[in-house]
Chain A
């Protein structure tokens, strides 16, 4: 762990009806750290990520975002969320708004930035993902890879302290995966705190500071990518990796 905790998950439980998806998770992401969460589908990794900004309501446990308890009933969830950027598997761009408006709407309404400032920041972040020329396009006219890069830019334009990625390349055609990973790689190298749920083992190994393997609602194993991916300690990790590598 590098520096203090950006995300500190303590004894987290989450059930959907009778199905217990998270069974006591303790999980930390340090400031500036890139943590990749891997595991079979149904292991609870996406649910864990969605609990971090409370898109899912945990049943018990605490989640501290830079020290602030987002699970506290009195917490200003909307304010804390502005510090957490989120990128979805299905992009979730707003199809009725142009790329520029996608990037400015929350800046203006939530952060109360002026129109000029919001558009300035939008242009800068689009430049970072290499899509400044698409500023006036509508999402439907972009490829999947471009849409996901715009979605990353939308999250970045809020100037968040940390970023959550929920299988950001799983909905993409294989030839479009690279451009999204490239943007994420750059982001990581600039020191962004990132929690990435992914199936991209190459990315996890190369970019991740730490890899966490989850199965059946618990953290089975975690450590440096080299160790977890090439020399897993647990049988379940070995079985999973032998299937995906």
Chain B
């Protein structure tokens, strides 16, 4: 047998095996019980409209608020990392190492439960910094401080990606360092890092599912907790499938957006 023929034969055998596994799986599966457990239209219908008005809405609120907090803290940490003052750099490095190294779930638990225990009398429910606080506050802070650790590195890379000449040109025109940073360097840095930041946003959307551990109430449930409650209530798997589809309806357009932005960024250069 020639090499080409042998190659073709191997490929056909692999294709055949693959098809066999798929078809065999489909034939051998008990479709009735699968659809009974996962695909019940009535249960899916019952989830609406609350899956959108409460669960998806809360997922989006948690995502946006913790992303905003992470962005502000992350920018601060990035500037500290680039500072000429050594203790600032130490602080930023330690912060980043700790919160990138810990499971996000642990940080959420620490913020949600350890802080109220440590500071007697403090309850997230009473905190009034963020309107309608409570779970929102604990969830935002918990996820936000984790996100900040990741975003700090991204933002730092973005700032360092702006040519040094930009800062020099701004300084040569008499601008202070702070002004030059704020109006010349940082706007350009953010353009460079829009794709990785959008990725960070997608990760956050998924991480909001960790917030179920905060024991959220009916009104503050996010998608995963909502699906879990519904599944327990009806003793059926359908809610998980529906919730999964809602997640994908949010995350897939965003991954497409990242791909588009990255292509555009490359084209601009």
Contact between chains at B184 and A53 (CB < 8 Å): no
Residues of A within 8 A of B268 (CB): 140
* Contact-residue size bin, chain A (C-beta under 8 Å from the other chain): 20 to 34
Q: Which A residues touch B163, using CB under 8 A?
A: 90, 92
Asked if residues A88 and B173 are in contact (CB atoms below 8 Å), the reply is no
Categorize the interface residue count of chain B: 10 to 19
A81 near B184 (CB under 8 angstroms)?
no
B166 within 8 A of A: yes
Partner of B174, one of A82, A94, A151: A82
A105 touches B169 (CB 8 A): no
**Is B116 an interface residue when CB atoms closer than 8 A count as contact?**
no
Is the Cβ of B176 less than 8 Å from the Cβ of A78? yes
CB-CB under 8 A for A84 and B172, given A92-B166, A96-B191: yes
Max chain B Cβ within 10 angstroms of own Cβ: one of A53, A84, A95, A155? A95
Q: Given the complex of chains A and B, what is the CA–CA distance between A55 and B170 in angstroms?
A: 11
A66-88 CB contacts (< 8 Å) to partner B: 78-79, 81-82, 84-86, 88
Choose among B165, B174, B188 the residue that contacts A81 (Cβ–Cβ < 8 A): B174
Bound complex: CA of A88 vs CA of B166, how far in Å?
10
CB pair A106–B168 under 8 Å, yes or no, is no
- Chain B residues, Cβ within 8 Å of A45: none
B residues near A82, Cβ cutoff 8 Å = 173-174
Task: Find out whether the CB atom of B175 lies under 8 angstroms from the CB atom of A78.
Answer: yes
* Chain A minimum-CB-distance residue to B165: A92
Tell me, yes or no, whether B35 is within 8 Å of chain A by CB: no
Which of chain B's residues have a CB closer than 8 A to the CB of A158? 173-174
Q: Which of chain A's residues 39-81 have a Cβ closer than 8 Å to chain B?
A: 53, 55, 78-79, 81
Q: A88 contacts which of B168, B174, B191 (Cβ < 8 Å)?
A: B168
Give the distance in Å from the alpha carbon of A81 to the alpha carbon of B177 in the complex: 13
Find A94's partner among B171, B176, B184 (CB 8 Å cutoff): B184
Distance between A150 CB and nearest chain B CB, rounded to angstroms: 12
Are A96 and B173 closer than 8 Å at their CB atoms?
no
Given the complex of chains A and B, what is the CA–CA distance between A102 and B191 in angstroms? 18
Question: Bound complex: CA of A72 vs CA of B191, how far in Å?
Answer: 38
A196 to B25: give the CA distance in the assembly, Å. 78
Given A81-B174, A96-B187, A158-B173, do A109 and B168 touch, yes or no (CB 8 Å)? Answer: no
Judged by a CB distance under 8 angstroms, whether B179 is at the interface is yes
Residue of A nearest to B191 (CB): A96
- Shortest CB-to-CB span from B82 to chain A, Å, is 18
Asked if B188 contacts A95 (CB within 8 A), the reply is: yes
Does A110 lie at the interface of the complex (its beta carbon under 8 Å from any beta carbon of B)? yes
A109 and B165 within 8 A (CB)? no
CB distance from B100 to the nearest CB of A (A): 30
CB atoms of A81 and B172 under 8 A apart:
yes
Binary contact readout A114-146 vs B (1 if CB under 8 angstroms, 0 otherwise): 000000000000000000000000001000000
B183 at the interface (CB under 8 A from A): yes
B166 contact from A81, A94, A110, A154, Cβ within 8 A = A94
For the complex, what is the distance from the CA of A86 to the CA of B188, rounded to whole Å?
21
Write the nearest CB–CB distance from A95 to chain B, whole angstroms: 7
Given the known interface contacts A94-B166, A94-B184, the answer about A86 and B172 at a Cβ–Cβ threshold of 8 Å is: yes
Q: How many angstroms from the CA of A109 to the CA of B181 in the assembled complex?
A: 13
**Given A94-B169, A96-B187, A110-B175, 18 more pairs with CB closer than 8 A:** A55-B171, A78-B171, A79-B174, A82-B174, A85-B172, A88-B165, A88-B168, A92-B165, A92-B168, A92-B169, A93-B169, A94-B170, A96-B191, A105-B183, A106-B174, A106-B175, A151-B169, A155-B173
22 contacts between A and B (CB under 8 A): A53-B172, A55-B168, A78-B174, A78-B175, A79-B174, A81-B172, A82-B174, A85-B172, A90-B165, A92-B165, A92-B168, A92-B169, A94-B188, A95-B188, A96-B191, A105-B183, A106-B174, A109-B179, A110-B175, A111-B174, A155-B172, A158-B173
